[in-house]
Every structure is written in structure tokens, then in C-alpha cells.
């Protein structure tokens, strides 16, 4: 081992020889805080070096070629010195960030949040300080969840709400990024308090009515599909951000069965009382004394059917992609239910005719006219 090789190994310890002749080396060259992988081979007959580099160094390809051509009579150390100087002039120093202050701020905010707000049900932080989970109980002991992610790479507004259990707002995000956990939590609590009428209304529907959809209602869901009888259901959608807003109501079922309900809604909607008990208002609207309880198997039709009442007549299941059948054949002797996706695929397969925004064809059960919106 000659002096030049010893000098190179002392100056560039991350680059090692790969053959006993010390004419070929590979390893990493550190420049401005970045490690570049390279392979160097000395071509003795040409008295110059051949350099093979990884992709980050390809941007300096022209400079490397010029250096290879001008490396005659130079040694490996001189060649590496020149290479390092060229790249160093064209790159910036990468400073390793110190996150100590950010971590101190995160822990300080977290400890202060837990100690100051005694109404927090649960509060936890991940080991890497990147995720904070908060659970809050409202005045009716409903549990509401909040997840906050932490971005230590940002100098400001490092806390961002990642997930929450509240209904979404159409006109923008509920929460703004902040440097303060208290600010986000106070916004969370005040929003929950504002939504109490909405939560109470949905709870009263869930406890009293036969809810077909969602299958497992959450505090984020703004609608309920309520079974009114074996063939008719009502979809009611509330605006959680405006208690005075009249709910959106849609009936699903055979035309002859839903026409009566639609007529009652049209006549009685003018008497709707905002902020009143939603169950009472719906009963008055539909001219009912009570909502039917969840239908039991013994209440269904006695005939042996290929599919149960309410199930899709094509796929023979109640839910498809978590959706219930919403199209009903209007033939009074049929009145079978269909998922929109199932009926669409059926009509396409039999070359149904398209008219404006719907497909028109024959019902797969009774072969009478049926249409499917596009």
C-alpha cells in the first residue's frame, strides 16, 4: 500500500479499494452534508480515472466528463479533491434540523391541555409525538373523537386536525391549523355544543324509528333512511349547521305507495316548526300517530320468495357497496327493488335505450317498463 492510497483512506474513509492493485475504489463521498455513491476505476493505459455515479450526481455529468479528461498524471486524492470542489460549488449546505424546540413545544401544549381541561374524557399522544387523540363527552354522554397530527417541519401552525367525528361543513374546513392545542380543542368543544339539536334529533330518530340506512349511524351522518312499511321508506337529511332549515325529505318505493306520503308533505310542510322536536314534526307532517318499529321476519309476506322484501332482485342482497336498493319497479304486480348499479348493468347488457339522463328498458322480473338514472 503506497502513500497515496493511505492518504486517500485517511481523507476519504468512506471510499474503499475493491481490488488488491488499488486501482478501483467505491464508496460514498460526502459533500455539503449529502452522501453521494460512486465507483472509481483508474485506467493505467490512459493515465486517467473513470467515474461511475448514482442518479443524484447525474446532474453534474458534463463536469465529471471534463474532470475525467483532465485527470491525466493526477492521483486518486487529487481527483477526489477536484470532484468535491466542483460539486461543492454547485450545491448548498444541508443543515440537519434541530427539532428540540419543536418537541418541547408539543409536550408543553399537551401537558397544559390535559391539566387545564378537566372535561376531556381521554387524551393520548404517540411515542414519536406525531399524533394526538382526544375524546370528549357532550352533555348527553355522546362520545366525540378528534385526531391531531403534528408537523415538526413547519415553523408555525404545527397542529393540524387529521380526523374528527363531527359532520362535515360544505363551505370549508371546520378547523384551522394552529400552534395551540387549546385553540383547536376549544373550537372542537364549541362546535359540539352548537350541534346539540342536530345530535339530539338524530338520536331520537335512531331510538324510535326503523333505520334502514346508515347501517351503523355515527355522529358524522346527516341523513337517515326510515322504513315506513314493507315497500316504502323515507330519506330525511338534516342541515346540522342550521337548526331552522327544513329537512330534505325523499320517499323511495312504488309510485302508487309513495304518492300519498308526498301529497301529505306538500300540504303540511307549511306548518313545520323549526327547532321543535323532530319526531313530533315528522309525525304531523306525515299524519301518523307513530313510526313503525323495526319489521320482524314474521311481519313479512308469507310467500316463499327468491329474495326478501327490500332486497335487490338482481344480486339478491340488501347492500351493495354499503348502499341499499333505491329503484322500484312501478308495475303494481311486481314492485321489486333494485340497486342502481345492478339495474344499470342489466339494462346495458340488454341494449336498453338511453333517453336524456336515463336508461329505459324492461324490468328483469316482470318485463314491464323500468328506467334507471345515469
Q: What is the tens place of the pLDDT at every residue in 11-50?
A: 888 888 888 888 888 888 888 878 888 888 887 776 778 8
**Residue 134 to residue 338: CA distance in whole angstroms:** 42
- Predicted confidence at residue 126, as pLDDT, reads 92
3-class secondary-structure state, position 346:
helix
Residues 317-347: tens digit of each pLDDT: 878 887 888 888 888 888 888 899 999 988 9
Strand partners, 145: 135
Q: What is the 3-state secondary structure (H, E, C) of 243-254?
A: CCCCCEEEEECC
Give the separation between CA 272 and CA 263, rounded to whole angstroms. 15
CA dist., res. 17 & res. 19, Å (int): 6
Give the residue among 1, 8, 56, 66 at the shortest CA–CA distance from 32.
56
Q: Nearest 5°: phi and psi at 140?
A: -105, 20
pLDDT in tens, 169-206: 887 788 999 999 999 999 999 999 999 999 999 999 99
The C-alpha cell at 280 is: 313530533
- pLDDT-derived band at 73, boundaries 50, 70, 90: low
At residue 11, the pLDDT reads 86
At 205 the pLDDT is 94
Residue pair 165/239 in contact by the 8 Å Cβ criterion: no
Determine the Cα–Cα distance for residues 137 and 96; give it in Å rounded to an integer: 42
Average pLDDT, the chain: 85
Domains of the chain: 3-90 (3.10.110), 100-194 (3.10.110.10), 201-286 (3.10.110.20), 301-373 (3.30.40.10)
Residue carrying C-alpha cell 479499494:
17
pLDDT digit string, tens, across residues 221-273: 999 989 888 778 899 999 999 998 999 999 988 888 888 999 999 999 999 99
225: three-class secondary structure by DSSP = strand
Amino acid at each position: 500500500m503506497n502513500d497515496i492510497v493511505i492518504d486517500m483512506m485517511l481523507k476519504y474513509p468512506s471510499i474503499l479499494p475493491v481490488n488488491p492493485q488499488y486501482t478501483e475504489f467505491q464508496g460514498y463521498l460526502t459533500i455539503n452534508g449529502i452522501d453521494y455513491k460512486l465507483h472509481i476505476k483508474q485506467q493505467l493505459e490512459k493515465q486517467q480515472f473513470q467515474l461511475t455515479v448514482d442518479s443524484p450526481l447525474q446532474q453534474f455529468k458534463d463536469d465529471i466528463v471534463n474532470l475525467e479528461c483532465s485527470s491525466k498524471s493526477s492521483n486518486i486524492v487529487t481527483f477526489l479533491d477536484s470532484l468535491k470542489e466542483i460539486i461543492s460549488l454547485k450545491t448548498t449546505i444541508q443543515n440537519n434540523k434541530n427539532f428540540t424546540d419543536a418537541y418541547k413545544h408539543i409536550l408543553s401544549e399537551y401537558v397544559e391541555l390535559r391539566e387545564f381541561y378537566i372535561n376531556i374524557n381521554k387524551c393520548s399522544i404517540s411515542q414519536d409525538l406525531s399524533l394526538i387523540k382526544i375524546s370528549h363527552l357532550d352533555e348527553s354522554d355522546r362520545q366525540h373523537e378528534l385526531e391531531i397530527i403534528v408537523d415538526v417541519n413547519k415553523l408555525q401552525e404545527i397542529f393540524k386536525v387529521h380526523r374528527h367525528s363531527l359532520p362535515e361543513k360544505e363551505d370549508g374546513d371546520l378547523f384551522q391549523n394552529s400552534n395551540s392545542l387549546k385553540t383547536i380543542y376549544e373550537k372542537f368543544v364549541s362546535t359540539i355544543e352548537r350541534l346539540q339539536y342536530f345530535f339530539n334529533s338524530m338520536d331520537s330518530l335512531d331510538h324510535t324509528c326503523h333505520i334502514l340506512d346508515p347501517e351503523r349511524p355515527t355522529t358524522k351522518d346527516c341523513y337517515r333512511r326510515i322504513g315506513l312499511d314493507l315497500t316504502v321508506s323515507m330519506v330525511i337529511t338534516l342541515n346540522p349547521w342550521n337548526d331552522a332549515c327544513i329537512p330534505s325529505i325523499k320517499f323511495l318505493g312504488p309510485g302508487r305507495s309513495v304518492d300519498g306520503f308526498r301529497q301529505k308533505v306538500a300540504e303540511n310542510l307549511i306548518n313545520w316548526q323549526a327547532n321543535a322536536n323532530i319526531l313530533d314534526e315528522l309525525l304531523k307532517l306525515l299524519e301518523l300517530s307513530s313510526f313503525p318499529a323495526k319489521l320482524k321476519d314474521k311481519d313479512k309476506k308469507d310467500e316463499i320468495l327468491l329474495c326478501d322484501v327490500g332486497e335487490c332482485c338482481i344480486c339478491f342482497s340488501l347492500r351493495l357497496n354499503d348502499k341499499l336498493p333505491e329503484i322500484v319497479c312501478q308495475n303494481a304486480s311486481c314492485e321489486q327493488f333494485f340497486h342502481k348499479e345492478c339495474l344499470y348493468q342489466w339494462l346495458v347488457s340488454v341494449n336498453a335505450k338511453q333517453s336524456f339522463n336515463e336508461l329505459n328498458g324492461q324490468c328483469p322480473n316482470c318485463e314491464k317498463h323500468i328506467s334507471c338514472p345515469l
